[in-house]
Every structure is written in C-alpha cells, then in structure tokens.
C-alpha cells in the first residue's frame, strides 16, 4: 500500500518512480531504525493534506 519511493539522487520522496530531477526513485531500505523514514511519513501526511484542498 504505502510504498513511498525515494530518489537516491536528490533525496526526495514520492509515489512515482520518476523524479523531477531525472533520477529514478526506489524503495528506501530501512530494515532498522531510520530517521529519514520518519520524515518521509511526515511529508506524505502533509502532502495528502494539501491534496484535499
Ligand atoms: Zn530526484
């Protein structure tokens, strides 16, 4: 469901593989603790809030 992808080039998160910077987003691999993942979650929530408007 929530497969957020991360661009290794610019570090941006998104749901589409293609990134604005031209890079290809891939699923981040945080098997353990990852602070970045937390931020991704936060960002996604924020984005969803924007969409509703
Ligand atoms: Zn990128």
pLDDT tens digits for range 1-48: 568 899 999 999 999 999 999 999 998 876 666 666 666 676 777 777
Calculate how far, in angstroms, residue 19's C-alpha sits from the geometric centre of ligand 1. Answer: 5
Bigger pLDDT: 49 or 11? 11
Give the alpha-carbon dihedral of 8, 44, 2, 15, to 10 degrees: -50
As a CATH number, domain 5-52 is 2.20.28
Calculate how far, in angstroms, residue 30's C-alpha sits from the geometric centre of ligand 1. Answer: 18
Tracing tokens 């996604």 back to the chain, one arrives at: 44
pTM of the model: 0.49
Query: What integer pLDDT is reported at residue 35 of this predicted model?
Result: 61
Domain edges within the chain: 5-52
Q: How far apart are the first and last CA of the chain?
A: 23
Calculate how far, in angstroms, residue 50's C-alpha sits from the geometric centre of ligand 1. Answer: 21
Query: What integer pLDDT is reported at residue 33 of this predicted model?
Result: 60
């Amino acid at each position: 469901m929530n497969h957020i992808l991360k661009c290794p080039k610019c570090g941006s998160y998104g749901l589409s593989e293609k990134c604005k910077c031209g890079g290809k987003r891939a699923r981040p691999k945080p098997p353990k603790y990852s602070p970045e993942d937390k931020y991704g979650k936060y960002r996604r929530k924020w984005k969803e809030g924007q969409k509703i408007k």
